[in-house]
Copies of this chain bind each other. A is one copy, B any other.
Amino acid sequence: MMAGAPALAAVDWGTSRFRLWLLDSEGRVLALSKGSEGLEAGRRLGFEKVLRNHLGRLLAPEALPILICGMAGSHEGWLEAPYVSLPASLDQIAEAVVAVAGTDLDVRIVPGLAKRDPAAPDVMRGEETQLIGVAAGGAAGRRRVCLPGTHSKWVALEDRRVEDFTSYLTGELYALLSEHSILRHSLAGIDAEAPVDPGNPVFVQALEHTLSAPERFFAELFSIRAAGLLNKLASTDAAARLSGYLIGAEVATALRDEAAPTAVTLVASGGMAGLYGVALTAAGAAVETVDADGAARAGLMAIATRCIAGGLARQGA
């Protein structure tokens, strides 16, 4: 089937990156424009200017609905889209989309989700859209979803509603420890942005260590430095060990109340999909992997279909 005319500009605008997909009314990708203009660039250059720059190739962007998810909707973003509280369904999120005023563009922003549990509050912005993409394509019933990243999210979906979630600082801890802590000496020359090799037996060994006892993380972290000093641990192995300890501790903690075997939907791409795939399998989970970008796109499309009055323009309409 041929792709149709442009019907939606779907945007995932996060802290450190921008991605715009031009979609037809069936959600097929006509074009992709991406860049590193995250929140800071939006604030510095102007959100509309950054968006228009990416829309530049389109003849008449004013005629096209534009839907944005991610940190662009935060207090520090273009326009604050107040959090929707848990439990939250696709319809509730679509209803809470906010329109940006003061521009010729037809721009709307997807709200984030908030867990208002006083003992363990939590927030997300961007992942709710990926979850909608996952839920739209899946069956009803309960499922656990893992979205790894700087702040990994573990989510309980129930009949396509977000019932609960918890964030883990795994990616941020990896970056901080490898770049700024005493462990940086042992990881010299390693790019903190590049995921380690999931096939490295050092990764698997470290993973199994904290999977079986996540609190070991605290006692063994410093051993990466000591092994660098005493045993000339290679920096690639030091990175694999740090990554294994962290991901193992996250997965063990997230799954500690689950009866085995658990089915987990992993929303990830590239190297992250590999590392978490190995970790979840080692933890005894049955893993189904969904591409993270595809989930964001599908989620934006599903929200747009609901929140834009009269639906998206059909080809030839």
Contact = CB atoms under 8 A, between A and B. Distances in A.
Interface of A: 75, 83, 114-116, 118, 120-123, 151, 166-170, 172-173, 176-177, 180-183, 214-223, 225-227, 229-231, 249-250, 252-254, 256
Contacts of A249: 215, 218
A166 B225 CA distance: 12
B253 A151 contact: no
Given A172-B181, A181-B176, A215 B256 contact: yes
A75 B168 CA distance: 36
A182 B123 CA distance: 12
Please list the 3 inter-chain residue pairs (A to B) with the smallest Cβ-Cβ separation, ordered nearest first.
Answer: A167-B222, A214-B215, A121-B226
A192 to B, nearest CB: 13
A23 to B, nearest CB: 31
B118 A231 contact: yes
B168 A172 contact: no
B181 A180 contact: no
8 contacts: A120-B219, A121-B223, A168-B219, A169-B183, A169-B218, A214-B215, A217-B218, A218-B249
Contacts of A254: 219
A121 B227 contact: yes
The residue in A180, A183, A219 that gathers the most chain B C-beta atoms within 10 A of its C-beta is: A219
Nearest to A117: B223
B176 A221 contact: no
Contact of A169 (B116, B181, B230, B253): B181
Contacts of A214: 214-215, 218
Given A168-B218, A169-B221, A121 B151 contact: no
A220 B120 contact: yes
Contact of A222 (B116, B168, B180, B216): B168
A114 B230 CA distance: 8
A98 to B, nearest CB: 17
Contacts of A216: 253
Contact of A122 (B120, B151, B222): B222
Contacts of A252: 215
Given A176-B177, A182-B172, A166 B219 contact: yes
A49 to B, nearest CB: 26
A128 to B, nearest CB: 14
Given A176-B176, A219-B254, 12 more contacts: A114-B226, A115-B226, A123-B226, A167-B222, A167-B226, A168-B221, A168-B222, A169-B218, A169-B221, A169-B222, A176-B180, A214-B215
Contacts of A225: 123
A218 B246 CA distance: 9
A252 to B, nearest CB: 7
